[in-house]
Structure 1
Amino acid sequence: MVKSKADIIAQDITAKIKHGQFKAGSFLPSENQLTVLYGSSRETVRKALEQLHSLGLIQKIRGKGSVVLKLGKYSFPISGITSFTELNKSLGMNAETKVLKLRKMNSLPKLFKAKFPKQSKQKGIYVERLRLIANEPEVLDCDFLFTPPIDELPMKVARNSIYDYIENDLKLEISYATKEITVEKIDSELQKKLEVKDNLAVLVASHSFLSDTTPLQLTLSFHDPSKFKFVDFARRQKIKP
């Protein structure tokens, strides 16, 4: 996947924040200074800053600029719909993905049925991926993509970004998702994959939809509770009476 100039700028600024070159509480260089620094247009710089703003890495203050916010090392937003690959690039995690399973199925895998009983007879593609940071297991993502709208899922796609494939190759618009976060007991197989001592994991269960409300995907993300901290960065949205 070819990165845009805005993506490259956002990733570079994120790296500078991560390594303390831009410290929490300090202001980033102005938009004009950033255009000179990166040899790009002001519009491109604004797109890059909007990415950082959406991730909660900066706060824009009118008339002053963009101040760096103090957040944890890795903040994995729960309320948004962002792929692990996108987070990996934005936050500079240097994470690795291992595809453990990829197969077509005529019904929902047993693992999903307790959380999604109404979809038990749904046909789809099951993909299981282990996410590693510094060669240590952090997340086990289990995805079930409905057939249709997804009829094929190449291994190359599973190793990278499924969302990029859906949006750019299949031209489908991913719109919204419902999510539930719980602490669950896991079996010995999952425990071994995540390399956790106890038989407990944080589970994020989500159901994603296309813009026309077509069901797209079910996801069970198992996280090692001793390594992971979830940070939901929320921005105030005013509702007019």
Structure 2
Amino acid sequence: MSRYQEIANDIEKDIIEKKYVRQLPEQFDLAKKYHTSRVTIVHALKILQSKKLIKAVKGHGTFITSKSIPDIFLNSGVNEHTGFTRHVNSAFLLTSNVISFNIRRPSAEECKALCLDKNDEVYDIIRQRILNGKPARLEYTVMPIKRIPGITMDILHKSVYSYIQNELGLKIGKDYRIITAEKSDAYDMKYLDCAIDDPVLCIQQKAFLEDGRPFELSESRNRYDRGALTVNGD
């Protein structure tokens, strides 16, 4: 792997982990950090631009282009059942590894999609799902604390949905999903053991409680060769 590809992957990881939120450091500072030339940094940034993770604005710097929430998620209410469910054979063992668990203020898009005030707080969760000892899925989840209070690391290692229904006594309603195929990113390569050109099945979801309140925005990224999706007949 080339040096500028390594740097691009590292910067992408820092963006995902929100070490850089709005703007990247100047190219000179990045070159100093990575002990390399500005030319190498330019090549690395071009890779990130091609993946639409950043945008260079002449005279102002390099800005991060956050993964946007689809408009259909921002404007949708409780929808009809999509017919898709995740399926894991009962003979398989599925466990969770919590990569990060933070509390923060929601973005403007998240406020709109989850019907929140800008001063509300959300959980920001990244989990790795391990199937029979092998990494199979990455899950990025945002949930409003005021709607789903009390989530802990112990709950994240088990089942958040079981906690919502059995401990909080809330009923889960409909959800809306957008399913796409994408190439692996830096986190897929690190936590799913993907090669740079491996395909990943990406599922974006907005989930509602039975009373119609949205309680989750999530994105799961699934290895193409582990696990499966089935289609319900109803």
TM range (shorter): 0.5 to 0.7
**1:154 corresponds to 2:145:** no
Q: Which has the higher contact order (CA 8 A, sep 6+)?
A: 2
The alignment partner of 1:157 has SS state of helix
Count of aligned pairs between the two proteins: 148
State the alpha-carbon separation in 2 of the partners of residues 194 and 117 from structure 1: 30
CA contact (8 A) 2:84 2:230 kept: no
- TM-score, length-normalised on structure 2? 0.55
Q: Against the structure 1 CA distance between its residues 186 and 107, is the aligned structure 2 distance closer, same or farther, given a 3 Å change threshold?
A: farther
State the alpha-carbon separation in 2 of the partners of residues 191 and 126 from structure 1: 21
> 1:117 Cα shift?
9.0
Q: Against the structure 1 CA distance between its residues 155 and 179, is the aligned structure 2 distance closer, same or farther, given a 3 Å change threshold?
A: same
Unmatched segments (≥5 aa) in structure 1: 1-77, 236-241
Aligned equivalent of 1:65: none
Matching residue's letter, 2:174? Y
CA contact (8 A) 1:205 1:219 kept: yes
The alignment partner of 1:176 has SS state of strand
Aligned equivalent of 1:49: none
Matching residue's letter, 2:180? T
> 1:176 Cα shift?
0.7
**1:231 corresponds to 2:230:** yes
State the alpha-carbon separation in 2 of the partners of residues 136 and 189 from structure 1: 15
Q: 2:83 aligns with which of 56, 79, 85?
A: 79
1:35-64 per-residue CA deviation (whole Å, 9 max, x = no partner) reads: xxxxxxxxxxxxxxxxxxxxxxxxxxxxxx
Aligned equivalent of 2:217: 218
State the alpha-carbon separation in 2 of the partners of residues 156 and 146 from structure 1: 18
RMSD after superposition: 2.7
Aligned equivalent of 1:98: 97
5 Å matches for 1:71-150? 79=83, 91-108=90-107, 118-119=112-113, 123-150=121-148
> 1:231 Cα shift?
2.3
Q: 2:176 aligns with which of 175, 178, 187?
A: 178
CA contact (8 A) 1:124 1:144 kept: yes
CA contact (8 A) 2:171 2:210 kept: yes
Matching residue's letter, 1:94? L
The alignment partner of 2:229 has SS state of coil
CA contact (8 A) 1:108 1:123 kept: no
CA contact (8 A) 1:146 1:217 kept: yes
CA contact (8 A) 2:121 2:144 kept: yes
> 1:226 Cα shift?
3.1
Give the ranges of 4+ consecutive aligned residues of structure 1 lying more than 6 Å apart after TM superposition: none
CA contact (8 A) 2:85 2:229 kept: no
Unmatched segments (≥5 aa) in structure 2: 1-81
State the alpha-carbon separation in 2 of the partners of residues 81 and 181 from structure 1: 12
Matching residue's letter, 1:224? R
State the alpha-carbon separation in 2 of the partners of residues 132 and 102 from structure 1: 18
The alignment partner of 1:97 has SS state of strand
The alignment partner of 1:181 has SS state of strand
Matching residue's letter, 2:169? K
Aligned equivalent of 2:48: none
- Which has more strand, going by share of residues? 2
CA contact (8 A) 1:166 1:172 kept: yes
